[in-house]
A and B are shown apart, each in its own frame.
Chain A
């Protein structure tokens, strides 16, 4: 069974702090996506990483794909209350099947 483990499960920080969320697996993925989900809504795509070692930046968010394409991290600089939400990593296992991690619930206090 392929698993994606996310850590931490829950994170509560003050506005302005930095944080990193991790996504790990023993499986190799052809691509990996990060989604953000707000209460009562479906997940919305933040980024897709495809190449081992790839780093992508989206304003204050930095995403990295591990060299072996088994893990990824999401780093947020100077977190804001608007960053509050559930962050999900999702790995594409080949073809079109996608498996999801359990998510990291982030709360940023003003």
Chain B
């Protein structure tokens, strides 16, 4: 079982460039999430999705966009990269059966210079 797979693992962007972080899960989870993790700040929710075709903003959505065309895939797009978007990004999914237990990917480290 692959679980949650994120690509790329590392990426360096120049200010103003665009890119997409890919996330796919093979557990048939309806709920998917994107978090960013900054040093000493914990994980902040960027966007989430409750199923294919349905997405909504989290705590820090500015500068990002998402789509959910299938149950498996939940890509995160950065349109105009800014230094403030330098962070480690984690995709997660959950089944929401009882308590909401998240399964995380290994993360994508993004640096914007």
Do A and B interact with each other, yes or no?
Answer: yes
Known A-B contacts A33-B99, A92-B100, A98-B102; the reply to A40 vs B107 at CB < 8 A is: yes
B34 close to chain A: CB less than 8 A = no
B53 beta carbon closer than 8 Å to chain A: no
Among the listed stretches B11-19, B39-47, B69-77, which one makes contact with chain A, having 4 or more residues with CB under 8 Å of it? B39-47
Number of A-B contacts (CB under 8 A): 60
Interface size class of A (residues with CB under 8 A): 20 to 34
User: Cβ of B92 and Cβ of A42 under 8 Å apart?
Assistant: yes
A100 contacts B92, C-beta separation under 8 Å: no
Q: Which residues of B contact A90 (CB under 8 A)?
A: 43, 102
Decide: A102 and B102 in contact? CB cutoff 8 A: no
> Which residues from chain B sit less than 8 Å from chain A, CB to CB?
4, 31, 35, 40-45, 48, 50, 58, 90, 92, 94, 96, 98-107
Complex A-B: 12 CB contacts under 8 Å: A33-B101, A42-B107, A44-B104, A48-B101, A50-B98, A90-B43, A92-B100, A96-B94, A97-B45, A97-B48, A100-B42, A100-B44
- A interface residue numbers (CB < 8 A to B): 4, 9, 30-31, 33, 35, 40-45, 48, 50, 88, 90, 92, 96-103
